[in-house]
Structure 1
């Protein structure tokens, strides 16, 4: 037994080397983009892999903030994040609670239909959703950016797996004490599933922050453009706002914008990585 435990705890240098190589391979493009954003635009094209600290400049960032409405993109993305994230984190656990802890006619059929939507490509839903938004008069509004997909099948499935692990005895004890059904959910279930909620919150924020397909279709005006939409049209904005902007200038400002857009997610992951890992483990529990 001692030998088996020793084998389980033994460190394998080969696996560490592989993980180190994989980490470097994943982070190298990000590090190159960030460092290159502080280089003169001409040097990015002339010497893409080199970096001379003596040539450090903020010219790419100054030009980017002048040519690109990245500020309004951050504001629109922030509004969508708060509104859509709140809807997801409130209603998805409620639906998951019903599927995990209640028994009703057609339960498995309804849950199967919910999971079936995971197999539908996003592109299939775009035209029907856009026609619906047009009929409601919501094109180029926050409603169109927030409501479609705010309670998706993945969030419900994730939270159902987490809630299914909550002991039924806790719920029965709360009922005996006279707690109502919503009170049981709010006072008993929610505190017990906080790690899963945190993990879902991080994933939801990342998905909303990086979403570009639906915002491009639903909010085509520059006034409602989210950050990712602004980034996709960045080259056109730079060329249109600066006469004679060459390839090097566009590349430098594009790297600067990408570095600015990367910063919020990087800070978020550093601050919440413990909750994210705990949430992943909580979401892996079988119900």
Structure 2
């Protein structure tokens, strides 16, 4: 009789933790579900009955009006271009820098790495004015160069890769050198396959940071054709009221919820597809070098 009692006692903490996680998940998802369902309601109903949902009255009118009033397609296109170019630069150069800091010894190594880490303490807003002046001198205002190059290889990405690569055994690298491999060949053939989980985790974080970036794109782009998705969403109310005479508060909210719901889709897809790699990457990045 003792065995069933012990089993029951062991199951109770697990049941409690599952209930807690379910409640926590519901609390996080509730605003997202509300926003998506509200985007399918009539604009006036969003204001008069914000918590009521009638599936029979759902409509795509907010989405159709939003596509007519807001250049969200160009916002998606510009964000996609920046994601590919800036994300590619980050995922190429950050592992190389991390490899150098983790596996080589050179004069001033600790000082240089410390200087890199010090940049993490600088608020983004402090760097905006100097960067903007540089972009103006280069003639890069309202260009993809200005959206992509500043911050393409940031200190956090280098630190992350340094921590991950530090866990790679030195014996593997020494054996490759004995076999005649060059340093870049060692990096590509030995290091990259081993750090794949950490690199995948960095990729997810990089996509999220670039996709959600607002401060720099809104400063460096003044032309509507160069605005990224987050800037388009931020100026959505102005675009709606400017493009539609007599647009009221309810109309703005309906189209804003529709645009926000569409903007949620790419990040949700990326996280659902790569959540396993992201979790493994978090664990890999927590290894001390």
Q: What's the TM-score bracket when you normalise by the shorter of the two chains?
A: over 0.9
Is it true that 1:240 corresponds to 2:242 in the alignment?
yes
Secondary structure of 1:255's aligned partner = helix
Instruction: Report how many aligned residue pairs link the two structures.
Output: 284
* Pairwise CA distance, 1:14: 3.3
Work out the CA distance in 1 between the residues paired with 2:72 and 2:9: 53
CA distance in 2, matches of 1:164, 1:185: 13
Query: Does structure 1 residue 64 correspond to structure 2 residue 94?
Result: no
Query: What residue number does 1:257 align with?
Result: 259
Aligned counterpart, 1:227: 229
1:151-179: CA deviation from partner (whole Å, max 9, x where unpaired): 00000000001000000011001111111
1:218 is matched with which residue?
220
In 2, the alpha carbon distance for the partners of 1:31 and 1:132 equals 43
SS of the equivalent of 1:57 reads: coil
Alignment of 1:1-287 (within 5 A): 11-287=13-289
CA distance in 1, matches of 2:11, 2:283: 21
**SS of aligned partner of 2:250:** helix
When normalised by structure 2's length, the TM-score is 0.95
* Consecutive unaligned residues in structure 2, runs of 5 or more: 1-7
Superposed CA deviations along residues 77-136 of structure 1, whole A, max 9, x for unmatched, are 000000000000000000000000000010000000000000000000000000011111
Counterpart-to-counterpart distance in 2, 1:9 and 1:219? 56
- Separation of aligned partners in 2, 1:15 and 1:188: 40
Give TM-score, length-normalised by structure 1.
0.96
CA distance in 1, matches of 2:150, 2:241: 33
Task: Identify if the C-alpha distance between structure 1 residues 278 and 9 changes in structure 2 by more than 3 Å, giving closer, same or farther.
Answer: farther
Distance (whole Å) between structure 2 residues aligned to residue 261 and residue 149 of structure 1: 23
- Tell me how far apart the structure 2 counterparts of residues 30 and 42 of structure 1 sit (CA, whole Å): 20
Superposed displacement of residue 214, structure 1: 0.4
- The alpha-carbon deviation at position 25 of structure 1 amounts to 1.4
**Alignment partner of 1:127: what SS?**
helix
TM superposition shift of 1:220: 1.9
Relative to structure 1, the CA distance from residue 142 to residue 179 in structure 2 (aligned partners, 3 Å threshold; closer, same or farther) is same
Decide whether aligned partners of structure 1 residues 8 and 213 sit closer, same or farther in structure 2, where only a CA change above 3 A counts.
farther
How many angstroms does 1:12 deviate by? 3.8
CA distance in 1, matches of 2:263, 2:67: 12
Distance (Å, rounded) in 2 between the aligned partners of 1:46 and 1:88? 47
